[in-house]
Structure 1
């Protein structure tokens, strides 16, 4: 591999603009274009394609870019070692997050990174399909989701680690004067609920079916941030892990009524099964699994 060619590809792939890169590294556009063409011929696959005035990555180009990012990041560490005589201790983790996942949960997961002066991280939300595609093309080191993607997979691409199991609780606007029982205490209650395709809603529906309770549904949403606002402002009851409304509970705006019987939401860290997980990525996974205030229920129960 010609690393000059890889470097030119890396610069162009990150900007999408050949003219800009040519001006920055003081080479002609034709020279860079010729070397990019040679690089792609050597690789035996198209890495860039033109879209209007910009160059965009092909799926194969995204995979090559992920490796190039890592290669030139290591190059910067080497330069730091040569110039300062000290190895860089910085580590970076790229995290994909399911778009409807609790923001408080994500913050709890990343808290060790926030407090580590040698760590940096990036967060990007998306659908499960887009996150898995990003993981397979090495744009993410890890993704966070409430789905166990190992279940039903045929080719063994993904590895899911359970990092937390949060009790699903009934949340209400007022502090209960006495111990509540489900469903007797909610005969005339209105509810704001997660959408039908969520693990939380399924658990609530199962609990209702067991006791033949028909909830009066005021609203439903697939967005946990929106559910948090609806629970706070509607005066209705809702169901979710209390971590979602941690601040509202602490400030007395919402109150935990009771835990929904035998109901939990599960949170997973997903990595590529056939790629060795870097130590700094595994450390954050292990840290999440071991934190007592993060795993609110023992996994063995």
Structure 2
């Protein structure tokens, strides 16, 4: 019996298989669970076999499901590869290079990381997006972006087939407006106890590292604000709402651009930066230039 695939149904199946449930796939695809469930039933009817069985609250692939998934992985990998080729075809204009950065990453560092990718001997058109880590990694999973920049490495808990490429790391510097800096600079870092502080939200690795270090030092600041966006956090810091921290490698730019002063530096905490791609071995020329320059110059 001939089987005529509806590739939209196959894509829904592929997402459910990688996410582990219809509910999670519906969030990523922005489609109702009922719609996905109905399309899966049509795909199973067309194939003539079940693709999933229930396992607790989740789904487990059947033998047929595993077979179909192996082909679906190849199909959508080829689709992504075709998109890469077309974006890089000079007859179609500049090659599109799409990067998503975690919102909490300092914009200055994002710019410094990405810039070498625009200097290669190829006409590149950059699209730069930002958002929460899980959201932008979901875009990478369905090949909507070429690279994700984050201070949080991809882990197996997200069920996304992608790879971490460590770019480098930097210690932290704490900043504040002149009035606060003069008050809290003496006896740093213990002066941070009860001091007003602005921090990234807890989804970011650097926030968790700072929390752990503060607890080790028995320092308990007064958290006045938590931010997903690093630029907004710096603006509130400039306005005098509290002390904030940034990677030391951009300390001069932060002081100049936001008219703030250094309260102190902490070498014990390192913020690590990653490029995350769908490729284990980097092939995209812009990504290769970014990784090489970051490791040899920016974070050297």
Q: In the TM superposition, what is the alpha-carbon distance from 1:251 to its structure 2 partner?
A: 5.0
Work out the CA distance in 2 between the residues paired with 1:203 and 1:217. Answer: 15
1:55 corresponds in structure 2 to none
2:266 corresponds in structure 1 to 260
Asked whether the 8 Å contact 1:94–1:121 carries over to 2, the reply is: yes
**Residues 1:106 and 2:68 are matched in the alignment:** no
RMSD: 3.8
Matched residue SS, 2:208: helix
Q: Which runs of 5+ in 1 are unaligned?
A: 1-40, 50-57, 81-87
Give the 3 Å change call, closer, same or farther, for CA 154–195 of structure 1 in structure 2.
Answer: closer
The aligned runs of 1:1-301 (5 Å cut-off) are 44-46=6-8, 66-73=80-87, 77=90, 79=91, 91-115=95-119, 118-149=123-154, 151-152=155-156, 157-174=161-178, 180-187=186-193, 189-242=195-248, 247-250=253-256, 253-273=259-279, 277-291=283-297, 294-295=298-299
Question: Deviations along 1:207-258, whole A, 9 cap, x unmatched?
Answer: 2222322212222223212111111112521223246675440257111222
Asked whether the 8 Å contact 1:96–1:124 carries over to 2, the reply is: yes
Give the 3 Å change call, closer, same or farther, for CA 67–205 of structure 1 in structure 2.
Answer: closer
Question: Deviations along 1:91-114, whole A, 9 cap, x unmatched?
Answer: 442212223322111111122244
Q: In the TM superposition, what is the alpha-carbon distance from 1:45 to its structure 2 partner?
A: 2.1
Work out the CA distance in 1 between the residues paired with 2:158 and 2:127. Answer: 30
Work out the CA distance in 2 between the residues paired with 1:172 and 1:284. Answer: 31
Give the 3 Å change call, closer, same or farther, for CA 124–63 of structure 1 in structure 2.
Answer: farther
With structure 1 as the length reference, what TM-score do the two structures score? 0.63
Give the 3 Å change call, closer, same or farther, for CA 275–178 of structure 1 in structure 2.
Answer: closer
Structure with more helix by fraction: 2
Work out the CA distance in 2 between the residues paired with 1:143 and 1:265. Answer: 16
Matched residue SS, 1:264: strand
Asked whether the 8 Å contact 2:87–2:96 carries over to 1, the reply is: no
Give the 3 Å change call, closer, same or farther, for CA 195–126 of structure 1 in structure 2.
Answer: closer
Asked whether the 8 Å contact 1:207–1:261 carries over to 2, the reply is: no
Give the 3 Å change call, closer, same or farther, for CA 197–243 of structure 1 in structure 2.
Answer: same
Q: In the TM superposition, what is the alpha-carbon distance from 1:68 to its structure 2 partner?
A: 4.7
Q: Which of 181-190 and 232-241 deviates more?
A: 181-190
Asked whether the 8 Å contact 2:140–2:147 carries over to 1, the reply is: yes
Matched residue SS, 2:111: helix
